[in-house]
């Protein structure tokens, strides 16, 4: 062992899956007290690398050195014993267990007589959650928490281990700006205590803020090693895609016409309290607000998932009341859900089966599936969204996280809905696919469809919306022209009740 050796060195790591070399001689050095970004487009091999580093799978070849000594990470337990904690892209929490039990899962403290030490579970969990500055009770049932809170529990689990290396695969995909800032602060604290951190994210703005160095992968190979690319969004994007991607937010200003949907004083048991807004034909209406402000609940109310306990919805001037989501789909409304892992995919289907799942009526004639229509439509969308061609050869559970998300988006673009509610549509997808989604949004609004966009990425929300409705505690009281709203305004508006300090308000 030597003092100058990196904490961890991964040398020429290769890993193949049937039909694809997911990691091809990847080299990464992780230093103590440093945050190292691992970046690249969907399917480039980031999660594969992370599974190897955390002992979930063995590399086909390559060497691993810990403080200069060659080691083998023989399994997840061995990784943990070596001080490696991982927050995986797929959640690994158990929804029916308490927050404390999840934090100590696999490592449950017991008393001398083998009895579970509940007091320790709860007090230690409370300590970690307090250190993270999050307001979650250790005895809460994890499945009852919001997606963002569940993500924070995942992170708490890694922190409770007091690891010397922590790996985070897309930790912020389900977090709002405030929670991201909280997480960053936590990572900075860990860095100053000497922890090595490996960080994967498609939110390049936050990568730019937090990382010290980056390794960029393309097609399983390192195309830019630490120190070779400046920590700057444009430079990183160029290295990721191997060229210039052009405008990041290619918003088209299409004609905005009559009101197609009017929501007045919506209320639901799930927390919508007085949401009033309208949506025009050809418009993108952004819903801005902090995590837990009720944006997803408003989407669910519009889509007939949560029953209204008050207020009314008018569609093309006629009052409607959806009994369930099928009724909303039939009326021409589509929802791309936020939690695609659990709400969105049929994991045993191939891509095309998933894409056409919402529009079987349109592609079946006299009760038979029109396979030619299905193939043509899905092929076009898969190309536009750059979904991995492997998606047709395998069921979707074998695809990378980002490719799975693109498939759920494609499904709703394939359906013939007039109103699309997109809840965090670009979460976890790479910059190229994000731009493809933006262009599809342009094409949809150009064709006279309307979009409700929910996004925690404020830059995206402001750039891609025509108007922004500010959601606060489940209520919408003002809708503002997106051009009149700055990033700071949006942050302040979402946390304050004062509706008077923002110019450019549109009367409701
Ligand atoms: N279990 C598996 N079986 C077969 N192929 C797999 C498996 N896991 C990943 N792959 C393939 O390996 C390649 C790399 O996938 P990986 O999940 O590492 O990508 P990623 O960089 O994490 O992408 P994303 O940003 O979308 O999460 C992809 O082509 C993927 O389809
Ligand atoms: Mg991944």
Ligand closest to CA 396: 1
Atom of ligand 1 nearest to the CA of 202: 25
Q: How far is the CA of 200 from the centre of ligand 2 (A)?
A: 8
Residue 368 pLDDT > 70: no
Ordered by start, the domain boundaries in the chain are 8-241, 248-332+421-426+454-508
The number of helices, as runs of H, and strands, as runs of E, in the chain is: 18, 23
CA dihedral 251, 252, 255, 256 (to 10 degrees): -10
- Name the pLDDT band for 504 (thresholds 50, 70, 90): very low
Distance CA 193, CA 190 (A): 5
Cβ atoms within 10 Å of 432's Cβ, excluding its own: 15
Mind listing the pLDDT tens digit for each residue in 238-247?
A: 898 887 778 8
152 CA to centre of ligand 1 in angstroms: 24
- Binding site membership of 221 for ligand 1 (Cβ less than 6 Å): no
Ligand 1 pocket mutation, candidates 23, 45, 59, 241, criterion most atoms within 8 A of CB: 45
Residue whose Cα lies nearest atom 1 of ligand 1: it is: 398
- Residue 167 C-beta-side C-alpha neighbours within 13 Å: 23
What is the model's pLDDT at position 507? 32
C-beta of 404 in contact with ligand 1 (< 6 A): no
Helix (H) or strand (E) holding 38: strand 34-39
Q: Mutation test of ligand 1: which of 14, 48, 201 has the most ligand atoms closer than 8 Å to its C-beta?
A: 48
Q: Which residue has the higher pLDDT, 398 or 500?
A: 398
Q: Which atom of ligand 1 is found nearest the CA of 170?
A: 27
Distance 170 CA to ligand 1 centre (A): 14
From 14, 88, 400, 405, the mutation candidate for ligand 1 (largest count of ligand atoms within 8 A of CB) is: 400
Cβ atoms of 287 and 452 closer than 8 Å: yes
Per-residue model confidence as pLDDT tens digits over 260-279: 999 999 999 989 999 999 99
Task: Give the whole-angstrom CA distance, residue 257 versus residue 248.
Answer: 26
Query: Residue 221: what pLDDT?
Result: 96
Residue 396 CA to ligand 2 centre (angstroms):
13
Closest CA to 143 of 156, 153, 155: 153
Residues 437-467: tens digit of each pLDDT: 898 899 889 888 999 999 988 889 999 999 9
pLDDT of residue 472: 87
Distance 359 CA to ligand 1 centre (A): 28
C-alpha 8 chain-centroid distance: 28
Residue 272 burial by Cβ neighbours in a 10 Å radius (0-12, 13-18, 19+): buried
Token duo for residue 72: 């083998």
Look at the alpha carbons of 77, 81, 82, 86 in this order and tell me if their dihedral is positive or negative.
positive
SS (H, E, C) 322-340: CCCHHHHHHCCEEEECCCH
The residue that leads in pLDDT, 141 or 365, is 141
Mutate to test the pocket of ligand 1, among 13, 22, 91, 429 (most ligand atoms within 8 A of CB): 22
Average pLDDT of every residue of the chain: 85
C-beta of 46 in contact with ligand 1 (< 6 A)? yes
Ligand 1 atom closest to the Cα of residue 404 is 26
Token pair in block for residue 328 = 């909303």
CATH topology match: 8-241 vs 248-332+421-426+454-508: yes
Tens digits of per-residue pLDDT, 305-357? 999 999 999 999 999 999 988 889 889 998 887 765 555 566 666 677 666 66
The 10s digit of each residue's pLDDT in 150-184 is: 888 888 888 888 889 999 998 887 777 777 888 89
* CATH superfamily for domain 248-332+421-426+454-508: P-loop containing nucleotide triphosphate hydrolases (3.40.50.300)
DSSP string over 40-87: -STTSSHHHHHHHHTTSS--SEEEEEETTEEE---SHHHHHHTTEEEE
Q: Counting atoms of ligand 1 from 1, which one is nearest the CA of 40? A: 21
pTM of the prediction? 0.76
Range 8-241 has CATH code 3.40.50.300: yes
Phi, psi angles (nearest 5°) of residue 356: -90, 0
pLDDT at 112: 78
Ligand 1 atom closest to residue 402's alpha carbon, by position in its atom list: 26
CA of 400 relative to ligand 2 center, distance in Å: 5
- Closest listed ligand to the CA of 39: 1
Report percent pLDDT > 90 for the chain. Answer: 44
Question: What count of residues does the chain have?
Answer: 508
Percent of the chain with pLDDT over 70: 89
122 membership: H or E segment, kind and range: helix 118-131
Other CB atoms within a 10 A radius of the CB of residue 369 amount to: 13
- pLDDT greater at residue 146 or residue 424: 424
Q: How far is the CA of 388 from the centre of ligand 1 (A)?
A: 10
Q: Give the closest residue to 59 by CA, choosing from 74, 40, 70.
A: 74
pLDDT the model gives residue 364: 45
Give the Å distance between the CA of 49 and the centre of ligand 1.
Answer: 10
Dig out the tokens for 11 from the structure. Answer: 């040398």
- CA-18 nearest atom, ligand 1: 4
pLDDT at 374: 66
- Per the CB < 8 A criterion, the answer to whether 94 and 105 are in contact is yes
Residue 44 alpha carbon, nearest atom of ligand 1:
21
Which numbered atom of ligand 1 lies nearest the CA of 400?
17
pLDDT of residue 439: 86
Nearest to 371 by CA among 385, 382, 356: 356
Does the C-beta of 403 come closer than 6 Å to ligand 1? yes
Q: Which atom of ligand 1 is nearest to the CA of 46?
A: 21
Ligand 1 midpoint to CA 449 (Å) = 34
Is the CB of residue 416 less than 8 Å from the CB of residue 444?
no
Does residue 44 line the site of ligand 1, with CB under 6 A?
yes
Which bound ligand lies closest to the C-alpha atom of 400?
Answer: 1
Spatial separation of the C-alpha atoms in residues 406 and 403, rounded to whole Å: 5
CA-based radius of gyration for the chain = 23
Closest of 270, 422, 266 to residue 335, by C-alpha: 422
The helix (H) or strand (E) run that includes residue 220 is: none
Which residue has a Cα nearest atom 18 of ligand 1?
A: 45
Q: What are the pLDDT digits (tens) for 10-52?
A: 999 999 998 889 999 999 999 999 999 999 988 899 999 999 9
């Amino acid at each position: 062992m030597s003092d100058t050796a990196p904490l961890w060195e991964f040398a020429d790591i290769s890993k193949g899956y049937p039909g694809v070399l997911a990691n091809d001689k990847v080299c990464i050095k992780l230093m103590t007290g440093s945050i190292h970004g691992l970046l690249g487009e969907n399917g480039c091999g980031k999660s594969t690398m992370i599974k190897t580093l955390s002992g979930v799978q063995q590399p086909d070849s390559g060497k691993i050195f810990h403080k200069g000594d060659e080691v083998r990470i023989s399994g997840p337990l061995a990784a943990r014993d070596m001080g490696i904690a991982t927050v995986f892209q797929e959640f690994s929490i158990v929804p029916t267990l308490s927050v404390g039990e999840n934090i100590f899962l696999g490592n449950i403290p017991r008393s001398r007589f083998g009895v579970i030490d509940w007091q320790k579970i709860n007090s230690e969990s409370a300590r970690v959650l307090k250190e993270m500055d999050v307001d979650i009770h250790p005895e809460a049932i994890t499945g009852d928490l919001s997606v963002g809170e569940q993500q924070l529990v995942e992170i708490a689990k890694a922190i409770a281990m007091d690891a010397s290396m922590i790996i985070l695969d897309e930790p912020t995909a389900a977090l709002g700006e405030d929670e991201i800032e909280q997480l960053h602060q936590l990572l900075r604290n860990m860095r100053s205590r000497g922890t090595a951190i490996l960080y994967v994210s498609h939110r390049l703005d936050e990568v730019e803020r937090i990382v010290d160095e980056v390794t960029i992968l393309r097609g399983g190979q390192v195309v830019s090693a630490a120190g070779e690319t400046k920590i700057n969004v444009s430079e990183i994007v160029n290295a990721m895609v191997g060229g210039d991607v052009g405008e990041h937010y290619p918003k088209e200003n299409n004609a905005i016409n009559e009101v197609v949907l009017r929501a007045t004083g919506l209320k639901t048991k799930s927390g919508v309290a007085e949401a009033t807004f309208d949506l025009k034909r050809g418009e993108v209406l952004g819903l801005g607000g902090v995590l837990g402000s009720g944006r997803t609940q408003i989407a669910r109310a519009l889509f007939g998932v949560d029953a209204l306990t008050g207020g009314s919805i008018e569609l093309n001037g006629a009052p409607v009341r959806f009994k369930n989501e099928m009724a909303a789909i039939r009326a021409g409304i589509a929802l791309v859900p936020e939690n695609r892992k659990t709400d969105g995919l049929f994991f045993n289907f191939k891509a095309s089966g998933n894409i056409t799942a919402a529009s079987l009526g349109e592609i079946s004639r006299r009760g038979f599936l029109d396979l030619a229509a299905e193939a043509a439509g899905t092929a076009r969308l898969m190309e536009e969204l750059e979904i991995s061609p492997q998606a047709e050869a395998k069921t979707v559970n074998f695809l990378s996280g980002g490719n799975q998300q693109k498939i759920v988006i494609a499904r709703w673009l394939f359906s013939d809905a007039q109103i699309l509610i997109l809840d965090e549509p670009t979460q976890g997808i790479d910059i190229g696919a994000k731009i493809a989604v933006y262009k599809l949004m342009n094409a949809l609004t150009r064709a006279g469809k309307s979009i409700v966009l929910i996004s925690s990425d404020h830059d995206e929300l402001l750039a891609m919306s025509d108007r922004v409705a500010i959601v606060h505690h489940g209520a919408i009281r003002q809708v503002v022209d997106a051009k009149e709203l700055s990033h700071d305004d949006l942050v302040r508006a979402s946390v304050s009740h004062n509706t008077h300090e923002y110019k450019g308000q549109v009367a409701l």
